């Protein structure tokens, strides 16, 4: 990800509706990532129970064990959350765009000279409140900054079609 906004100094900040479109697109991808992560964990638990590594305690169906156990459901939810968060953090760190952002020609750029690390990206994720922080763009029409933009000092810019091409990135 670019450490500075100099190459795209003339690029405008993204408006609410482009951000919303990217959020919807990315939500669909995040759901798919979460479903795949859950599938992997559930199959792993199924194999562990059926091979006797984990004790079934007389329960016949593994699905009953998982659904009735707060521990196993929490493990699955944490596993899925880790992968969904990892999806966003990895794409933001490696290229500044998620799949939805790329489709809508949006990209993250640092508003400061500080490098964009995982700490600032995690702060951005937490302060977005599942996209609700983006509603601030509707109020702050002049600056078009969402809550997560202000907190992390990382802005979302709208790119031209040529600027959105990965080959043109430095």
Q: Is the pTM above the cut of 0.95?
A: no
> What pLDDT digit, counting tens, does each position of 28-55 carry?
999 999 999 999 999 999 999 999 999 9
CB 162 within 8 A of CB 10: no
Name the pLDDT band for 168 (thresholds 50, 70, 90).
low
- Assess whether pLDDT exceeds 50 at residue 3: no
Helix (H) or strand (E) holding 110: strand 106-110
For 36, phi then psi, to 5°, come to -65, -40
> What pLDDT digit, counting tens, does each position of 78-95 carry?
999 999 999 999 999 999
Mean pLDDT of 55-72: 94
State the chain's mean pLDDT as an integer: 92
pLDDT score recorded for residue 76: 98
- Where b means 16+ CB within 10 Å and e means fewer, 96-123 reads bbbebbbebbbbbbbeeeeebeeebbee
- Assess whether pLDDT exceeds 60 at residue 2: no
Rounded-to-integer distance, Cα 163 and Cα 105, Å: 8
Name the pLDDT band for 110 (thresholds 50, 70, 90).
very high
Token pair belonging to 124 = 């951005």
CB 124 within 8 A of CB 151: yes
**CA 2 vs CA 18, 94, 114, 170: distances in Å:** 21, 9, 11, 8
pLDDT score recorded for residue 163: 87
């Amino acid at each position: 990800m670019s450490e500075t906004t100099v190459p795209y100094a003339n690029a405008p900040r993204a408006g609410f509706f482009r951000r919303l479109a990217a959020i919807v697109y990315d939500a669909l991808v995040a759901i798919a990532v979460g479903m795949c992560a859950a599938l992997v964990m559930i199959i792993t638990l199924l194999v562990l129970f059926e091979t006797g590594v984990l004790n079934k305690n007389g329960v016949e169906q593994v699905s009953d064990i998982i659904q009735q156990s707060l521990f196993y459901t929490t493990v699955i939810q944490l596993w899925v959350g880790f992968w969904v968060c990892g999806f966003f953090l990895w794409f933001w760190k490696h290229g500044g765009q998620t799949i939805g952002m790329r489709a809508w020609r949006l990209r993250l750029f640092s508003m400061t000279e500080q490098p964009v690390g995982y700490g600032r990206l995690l702060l951005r994720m937490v302060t977005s409140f599942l996209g609700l922080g983006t509603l601030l763009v509707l109020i702050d029409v002049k600056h078009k900054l969402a809550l997560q933009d202000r907190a992390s000092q990382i802005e979302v810019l709208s790119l031209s079609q040529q600027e959105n091409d990965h080959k043109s990135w430095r």
